Chain A
Amino acid sequence: MSKSGDDKGDPTLAKWYDLFSRGARDWLRHDEKVRESVREQLPQIIAGGDVINESARTVRVPVRMLEHYHFRLRRPGESQGVGQGEAKPGDVLADANADRGARDKGPGGQDQGEIQLLLEIKIDDIVDWLWEEMQLPNLKARVGPADSTDWVREGWDRRGPRSRLDRRRSFKEFVKRRGQQQQSGPTGFTDDDLRFRQLARRRQPAIHAVVFFMLDVSGSMSDRDRRLAKTFFFWVVQGLRREYRSLETVFVAHTTEAWEFTEPEFFQVTGTGGTVASTGLNKVREIIDARYSPGRHNIYLFYASDGDNSVGDHAESQTALADIVQKACYSGYVEVASGLSRQLATETGRLFGELASQGQPAGSYVINDFNDVWGAVRHFFTAEHAAQSGAGPEGSQ
């Protein structure tokens, strides 16, 4: 345009920059890159047990803005600059650590004030990413009643019952029409502007699954062991939720006895005394018999312990476990052996290992620290998948 500003008067002639922000576009690209880099480091980030919050469906990850790097000189311990004002040589203008803000404006503070972003990521997204990243197979349900159908929203139509009027969408149509039409034409809503949500019948897998988490709470299990187990259980639930629309969880803790708990209580429980795995396994059997028939439910069992089962319990646990394995889709055992590297398979580890080598859907894995949780999740889901596809299960680790 020219100085005379003759095209100012015409409001229809919108400038391109009114409609488009390059800054925002490049910011979105930056944001996308941040998400990508978070995604790459995801296993490390979520391995820290702290991100898990039972009720929250999102995880918050603090991230720094990405820096586009240039060659820079090393930041010296001190730097010189020129200032202006009333000051004599020797005057101290700021004390050490007095005010960071003041320094940022000085020549030493080439870095702009750090801004931290708090990325909120949906747990569902994380699980999707992880499954993609680790190429974990999607499980197939073993049993389940025939698919049922359900109504889902799908598309819009110009006609429909008033209760399904989509106001927002209708308003958009109204704006669109107003933008297109010439001077003449109705100024208010017309029937053609209205949009109604449509429903369609969709097949939904109606498959029930139940997962038993069994935890050894005997005196030998430390707090850290328990947090490891908790983190593992958390991601197992997330993984199974991908597959099953209704997933029930049952929590069983045992020492020399076994109890069923609710989820919040479960991780608080501390017991004393020895470990008799068969009590827990029998408890699980009891619950299966009473509440979950294998014909209607896909049953999973995950058991976390430090592996010290009492010596006399071998036969009993073997029977109990064999019975469960018959009924369950998969039974897994994680050994939380924090800090200890074990040469030999423990009593319980052997138990699961034997079953696995017989071709039963079972497996075991040792977790030493939080980074291993991922290995364990991967191990069980791939082993479970292999067991399903009949290729024979993988042996214990």
Chain B
Amino acid sequence: MSDPADWQSYVRRLEELAVRSGLSFYPVEFEAVPDSFMMEIAVYGLPVRMPHWSFGVRYIYQLIQRHMGHSRIFEVVFPGNPGHAYLAQSNGLAENVLVTAHVLGHADFARNNMMFRRCQEQVSEHIVEHAANHARQIQQAIETHGMQKVESVLDAALALEQHIDVDQKLRRERYPEYLPDTKALVDDDFRRRFAALDPAAAAGAFDSRKRAPLPPHPERDILWFLATYAPEMESWERDIFLAVREESFYFFPVFATQIMNEGWASYWHARLLREADFVPQQAYLDAIKCHSDVVRPIAAGQQVALAINPYHLGFSMWERIIEREGLETARQIMREDDDFSFVRNHLDRELAEQLGLFRFNARNDGHIKVLGHDLHELQDALLAPKYNFGAPSVSVAHVRNDGTLELEHDHGTDGRGLDLERGRKVLDYVQRVWRRPVLLRTIDQNGASLELAAS
């Protein structure tokens, strides 16, 4: 435990140094908080967030992890204007100096990266406050409507939290109710002669408008669709769905740029620290030691790692890009890319080899075998878990006249069917808020199509 004043005297100087190095960020409010609170931020993803029992489960796992010494969280930063950074009170001085520089890297990234900016335009720059507001609303709903009811809405909404469509706006209009009338006003010979014969009929006595099917196209944003079109949802229930959706819009860029973002912050904490001549020698050495612990790809005493440390991968990629192509190009990449384009365009064969990346195959019985070093396959395998917010591509296909909701799993894209047991449970959640039968088409393990239902 260090005297926080010590570290805070460095914050201003680090910020100045960062600005001189070309970073541009909104002001960041730093706050040192107890470890227990750090842990909760990690569990909830936001400092104040809606209550739900599933967070309790994550909390216990996190607690156990911490007791076993597996995880330690130095900082959590929330983008915005101003940004909020929470630092663990147990950080030493050196760690705090490092973490401050790291946070500034994140703040620069969040202000300039396109994906972050687009999502922040939607959710505004005050997600922390919004989330706290959602939590308060939901707490009120619990008092008004009872825990059971609110919980069953949250069960459904949080189960679908990854099923949003960030290419659409956060606040969307309903679909047009009718199909565009293509035939109506074709001004041709026939129509003119018809009009001459019977002006009344030709003036639109018959309605050629056709009611649009619902949804008019497969809808990926299931949260929005349910909130908008569920036949019997109450307004407070819709609000909960929209609250969860708004938070998902915030989480999306964090998820979709993790390698870039962590790499960028790691690159800058290393560089700012190198250039910060005002940091005492001892603190500098401690901080560098801490840096190498954070970006270490392989656990101490082990030969290989079976997972990629995004800090290390991102850090190595940025270091190389800046070394070869200069800071300006790097900043442009930082602004325009997400993890998909970043890994595909900038992870080259040489670097992959240098980092010793390999692809492996793990069987369910525990057998793990190294497959190879082919670059494209490596990139594919790295990115595979990141598609579609990490969730199977399920979309709303159709609502029948009797109100039955049809969901469709695009197994062609995902390459295999859904986990049926879990799928059924999610349908149960959804059915409780849709209040009409719900069904889902996917395939079974033999590739035969299959329909799950809940009613």
Which A residues have a C-beta under 8 Å from some C-beta of B? 1-5, 8, 15, 17-18, 21-31, 33, 65-100, 102-103, 105-108, 112, 115
Contact = CB atoms under 8 A, between A and B. Distances in A.
B358 A82 contact: yes
Interface string B191-221: 0000000000000000000000000000000
A167 to B, nearest CB: 29
B368 A23 contact: no
Given A22-B40, A100-B366, A115-B60, A83 B419 contact: no
Range for the number of chain B residues in contact with chain A: 35 or more
A90 B369 contact: yes
Given A30-B53, A68-B159, A115-B61, A84 B356 contact: yes
A73 B5 contact: no
Contacts, number: 251
20 contacts: A3-B8, A21-B36, A23-B59, A26-B54, A70-B159, A71-B391, A71-B392, A73-B418, A77-B363, A78-B362, A82-B308, A84-B298, A85-B358, A87-B360, A89-B358, A91-B369, A92-B370, A96-B363, A97-B366, A106-B362
Contacts of A4: 8
Nearest to B11: A3
- The dominant DSSP class at the B interface is mixed
A83 B303 contact: no
Contact of B29 (A1, A72, A75, A82): A1
B29 A74 contact: no
B369 A84 contact: no
B422 interface: yes
Contact of B64 (A29, A81, A115): A115
Interface in B295-312: 297-298, 302-309, 312
Nearest to A1: B31
Contact of B362 (A1, A72, A89, A107): A107
Given A26-B59, A84-B358, A74 B418 contact: yes
Contacts of B147: 29
Contacts of A76: 416
Interface string B107-145: 000000000000000000000000000000000000000
Contacts of A77: 363-364
Name the 4 nearest CB pairs between A and B, nearest first: A85-B304, A26-B56, A23-B59, A27-B56
Interface stretch (B72-80, B275-283, B423-431): B423-431
A90 to B, nearest CB: 6
Interface string B38-71: 0110011000110111111101111110000000
A159 to B, nearest CB: 40
A80 B162 CA distance: 22
B365 interface: yes
A142 to B, nearest CB: 41
Contacts of B158: 68
Contact of A26 (B31, B53, B381): B53
Interface string B245-264: 00000000000000000000
B372 interface: yes
Nearest to B159: A70
Contact of A17 (B29, B33, B162, B360): B33
Contacts of B355: 84
Nearest to A99: B366
Contacts of A85: 297-298, 302-305, 356, 358
